[in-house]
Amino acid sequence: MLILNIWAIELLWAQLNYEFIPYRRDQQWGYASEGLKVAISMDYNETYPFRENVARVKCGSRYGYINTRLKPITECKYYYAGDFKDGVAKVWLNGRYGIINREGLEITPIQYEDISFFKDGMARVVLNGLYGFINLEGKEIVPPMFENASNFNEGTAAIRYEGRWGYVNTHNHEIIRPKYDFALPFREGLAAVKMNGRWGFINERDELLVPHRYYAVESFYEGFARVEIDNKWGFISKKGNEIAPVYDAAISFSEGLAAVSLNGYWGFINQQAITIIPHRYAQVSSFKDGLAKVRINGLWGYIDKTGNEIVPVRYVGLGDFADGLASILMGGKWGYIDRYGNLVIPALYEQAGSFEQGLAKITKNGKSGYIDTKGKEYFKDY
The CATH number of residue 57's host domain is 2.20.25
User: Which of 46, 81, 111 lies at the terminal end of a domain, its last residue?
Assistant: 111
Please check whether residue 172 lies inside any domain of the structure: no
Q: Of the candidates 111, 130, 147, which is a domain's last residue?
A: 111
Q: What does the pLDDT read at residue 2? A: 37
**Within-domain flag for 78:** yes
In a domain, 263, yes or no: no
Domain that holds residue 52: 1-111
The vertex-301 CA angle with 300 and 307, nearest 5°, equals: 125
DSSP state of 45: S
Which of 111, 126, 147 corresponds to the end of one domain?
111
Question: How far from 246 is each of 129, 217, 227, 329, CA to CA, in Å?
Answer: 41, 15, 11, 35
Q: Are 376 and 369 in contact (CB under 8 A)?
A: no
- Answer yes or no: is 275 within a domain: no
Residue 7 is assigned to a structural domain of this protein:
yes
Neighbours of 220 (CB within 10 A): 25
Residue at 175 is within a domain: no
Spatial CA neighbour of 104 closest among 53, 49, 58, 140: 53
d(CA 178, CA 104): 39
Q: Give the side-chain half-sphere CA count within 13 A for 198.
A: 9
In a domain, 252, yes or no: no
Q: Which CATH number do you get for residue 347?
A: 2.40.10
Please state, in angstroms and rounded to a whole number, the distance separating the CA atoms of residues 52 and 46: 19
- Cβ pair 249, 261 in contact under 8 A: yes
Sheet holding 28-32, edge to edge: 38-44, 28-32, 21-25, 379-380
pLDDT by residue, tens only, the chain of 382 residues: 333 344 343 434 343 334 799 999 999 999 998 888 887 778 899 999 999 999 999 999 999 999 999 899 999 999 999 999 999 999 999 999 999 999 999 999 999 999 999 999 999 999 999 999 999 999 999 999 999 999 999 999 999 999 999 999 999 999 999 999 999 999 999 999 999 999 999 999 999 999 999 999 999 999 999 999 999 999 999 988 999 999 999 999 999 999 999 999 999 999 999 999 999 999 999 999 999 999 999 999 999 999 999 999 999 999 999 999 999 999 999 999 999 999 999 999 999 999 999 999 999 999 999 999 999 999 998 8
Q: What's the rounded Cα separation, in Å, for the pair 121 and 141? A: 11
Number of domains in the chain: 2
**Residue 93 domain-assigned (yes or no):** yes
For residue 17, what pLDDT is reported? 39
